[in-house]
Amino acid sequence: MTTATLADERIARTSTLTKLLKRPEIGALVAAIVIFAFFALTTDAFATPSGSSTWLRGASTIGIMAVAVALLMIGGEFDLSAGAMTGFTGLVVGVLTREYGVNIWAAIFISLGLALLIGAINGILVMRTGLPSFIVTLGTFFVLQGIDLAGTKALTGQVAIQGMTQVPFYSQAKRVFGSALEVQPHWFNLNLGFMRLDFDWSRPLTINASVFWWVGVTALATWILLRTRTGNWIFSVGGAQTASRQIGVPVFKTKVGLFMTTAGAGWLVGMLLIFTTSTVQSNTGVGQEFIYIICAVVGGCLMTGGYGSAIGAAFGALIYGMVSQGIVYAGWDNNWLKAFLGVMLLGAVLLNEWVRKRAETAK
C-alpha cells in the first residue's frame, strides 16, 4: 500500500541491481570480490581454512575500527588517536591486572571508562575550540603514544605486558574476546561449474571471536546510520553543521558521541587483541590510524563528511586484510602493501568525489 502511494509514473521501475549500484559501498564490494578471486586463483594458501582464518582475523580488528572511524568521518571529523587507543586500553588492563592485582573484569571496565573519557575530551575540545579534529586528535594521539611507551616502562619496567594467562578469571574474559570457533566447511568448496577449485579443506576453518564482533559492530552501525534518528543526525552534522543546528539537531551531543564511539571501538579492539594473544606491546596500534581512514574512504566515505557507509568500511577492511596476507602467500615483498594502499586510496577518493559531484549538482 505504501509503495503504491509513492509510485510515480515518471520513475522507471528501478531494479534492485540499479539501487545497489547507487550505494556508496558498491566499489569496495566489487574490489573485495576481485581481490579474493585473484589471490584464491594465484596462491595455494589463500583460500584454505588456515589461510582464510588468518586474513579474516587481520581484517576483523581493523574492520571494527574502520567502521567506527567511518561513522565519525560521515559526521565530518577525523580521529588520529584511534590507533594508539587500541594499545592504550590493552595496556591499562595489562598493567592493572599484572602489576596491581585488580580483578580482570574491573580492569576491563576501568579501561572502557578511560577510553570513553578520552573520546569525550577529544569531542569536547573539537566542538568548544572549533579547531580541526585533525589537529586535536593528533595531539591526543601523541599524548597516548607517550603514555603507552613511557608509562608502561615506568610502571612495569618493560615495553610489553606478558603472561596475561596467569591472571585470575583470564579464561572468562578470553571466552568473550579471544576465543575461536572451528567449523568444518565441507559445503564451502568452490565449484563454479566452469571450473572447480580444489583447496585443502581437511583442516577446520577457525573463526576468531573478533570476526563475530566485527560482523556485529558493522550490522549495528549500519542499522543506526540508516534506520535511526541518530543516524540521520550523523549524516546531517557532517553534511552541513550550521544548517543542522538551525533546524534543531543536537550537533554537540552527536559529535561528542561519535568521538566516544571511536574511542569505545578502540577499547573493544584493545580487548580483542590482548585476549587473543595474551600479550600487549606498548606500541600496539601506532600507525594504524591512517589505515582505518583508508578503509573508510575505500568504503565510500567522503573526506569532507556527510556521505559514506559503515558496511563499506567493513569491505575496505576486508580488502586490507586479504591483500596484506595475500601478498605474503604470493611470496612478494611485504612493502608492496603500502604502495597498494596508496593506489586504492587515490582511486577511491577520485571515485567518491565523482559520486559526490553527481549527487550534489546533477539535475
Partner 1 sequence: MSNDNETVEETTAEAASPVTNVYAPPPRGTAIIEVRDIGKRYGNIIALSDVSTSVRAGEVTCVLGDNGAGKSTFIKILAGAHEHTDGQLLIDGEDHTLSSPRAALELGIATVYQDLAVVPLMPVWRNFFLGSEITKGVGPFKKLDIDFMKRTTKSELSAMGIDLRDVEQPIGTLSGGERQCVAIARAVYFGARVLILDEPTAALGVKQSGVVLKYIAKARERGLGVVFITHNPHHAYPVGDRFMLLRRGKSMGDFPKSDLTLEDLTAMMAGGEELESLAHELAETMGADSAIAQELKADVT
Binding site for partner 1 (CB under 8 A): 2, 5-6, 8, 10-11, 223, 227-229, 231-233, 235-236, 239-240, 242-244, 246-249, 306-307, 356, 359-363
Instruction: Give ∠ CA 266-79-33 in degrees, rounded to 5.
Output: 75
SS3 81: coil
Nearest to partner 1 of 6, 17 (CB atom): 6
In a 13 Å sphere around the CA of 160, the CA atoms on its Cβ side amount to: 11
Which amino acid type is present at position 334? N
Least distance between partner 1 and beta carbon 119 (Å): 21
SS3 96: helix
In sequence order, what are the beta bridge partners of 280?
161
Nearest to partner 1 of 297, 341 (CB atom): 297
Nearest to partner 1 of 203, 229 (CB atom): 229
**Cβ within 8 Å of residue 52, ≥6 positions away:** 46, 205
Please list, residue by residue across 206-243, b when 16 or more beta carbons sit within 10 angstroms of its beta carbon and e when fewer do. Answer: bbbbbbebbeebbeebbebbeeeeebbbbbbbbbbbee
All three cell numbers of 257: 558521541
Nearest to partner 1 of 5, 202 (CB atom): 5
Least distance between partner 1 and beta carbon 195 (Å): 40
DSSP 293: H
Least distance between partner 1 and beta carbon 238 (Å): 9
Least distance between partner 1 and beta carbon 281 (Å): 36
Nearest to partner 1 of 157, 248 (CB atom): 248
Nearest to partner 1 of 280, 311 (CB atom): 311
Least distance between partner 1 and beta carbon 286 (Å): 33
**Cβ within 8 Å of residue 10, ≥6 positions away:** none
Nearest to partner 1 of 2, 16 (CB atom): 2
The percent helix, strand, coil of the chain (3-state, each to 5) is 70, 5, 25
CA torsion angle 346 348 351 354 (round to 10): -80
Least distance between partner 1 and beta carbon 250 (Å): 9
Cα separations (Å) of 134 from 121, 141, 337? 14, 10, 25
DSSP 151: I
Least distance between partner 1 and beta carbon 233 (Å): 8
Nearest to partner 1 of 8, 333 (CB atom): 8
Least distance between partner 1 and beta carbon 350 (Å): 18
